[in-house]
Structure 1
Amino acid sequence: MAEKMEEHVYVIPLRDARRMPRWKRSNGAIKDIRKYLAKHMKSEDVKLDQGINEKVWSRGSSKPPSKIRVRAMKMEDGQVQAELAPES
């Protein structure tokens, strides 16, 4: 397992998922999370924890949350691993 290089907590807005058809919004939200983390952590290899997926899909495919709080860690090999951050 690679060592952590850096760690950040982000609040990712998911309002752009509204641009999609109603039945695809949670899929779009997951893609938006990956895209956001790839841009801000400067890595194309992004792995999302199961907790993020469960939070986005908790209200079904048509009603994802408007924002999500994520803790992202960049490893030495360039991979970004993200998990749901505790609400404060």
Structure 2
Amino acid sequence: MAEVVDERVYTVPLRDAKKAPLKKRAPRAVKALRQFIERHMKAEEVRIGNDVNEKIWERGIKKPPSKIRVRAVKYADGTVEVRLAE
């Protein structure tokens, strides 16, 4: 990986995913997370880690969490990697 430029911890609201139809809620939550990180980290590319994806999908497609706490790491090439905050 490239040099780390910035590292932040966010609590990302995913409640807008609840407005989606039942069978589209978890995918909508993933998109909401990606948009939030792009907006706040000014990222060109966002990589969502497996741990974050599994946390969103933990209760199935119908019931994603209403918020999630993540650690976003921005690299010099403009890529942002998202992991669960500990």
Q: What TM-score range do you get, normalising by the shorter chain? A: over 0.9
**Structure 2: segments with no counterpart, 5+ residues:** none
TM-score, scaled to structure 1: 0.95
**Structure 1: segments with no counterpart, 5+ residues:** none
Asked if 1:13 corresponds to 2:22, the answer is no
- Partner Cα separation in structure 2 for residue 44 and residue 21 of structure 1: 29
User: What does 1:52-67 align with in structure 2 at a 5 Å threshold?
Assistant: 52-67=52-67
- Partner Cα separation in structure 2 for residue 8 and residue 74 of structure 1: 9
- Partner Cα separation in structure 1 for residue 44 and residue 21 of structure 2: 26
Instruction: Tell me which amino acid in the other structure corresponds to 1:39.
Output: R
- Partner Cα separation in structure 2 for residue 75 and residue 6 of structure 1: 7
- Partner Cα separation in structure 2 for residue 73 and residue 26 of structure 1: 23
How large is the Cα RMSD of the aligned pairs? 0.6
SS of the equivalent of 1:39 reads helix
Instruction: Tell me which amino acid in the other structure corresponds to 2:45.
Output: D
Percent identity between the aligned chains? 51
TM-score, scaled to structure 2: 0.98
User: What does 1:23-34 align with in structure 2 at a 5 Å threshold?
Assistant: 23-34=23-34
Asked if 1:50 corresponds to 2:50, the answer is yes
SS of the equivalent of 1:28 reads helix
Moved over 6 A (4+): none
- Partner Cα separation in structure 2 for residue 37 and residue 43 of structure 1: 7
- Partner Cα separation in structure 1 for residue 59 and residue 44 of structure 2: 28
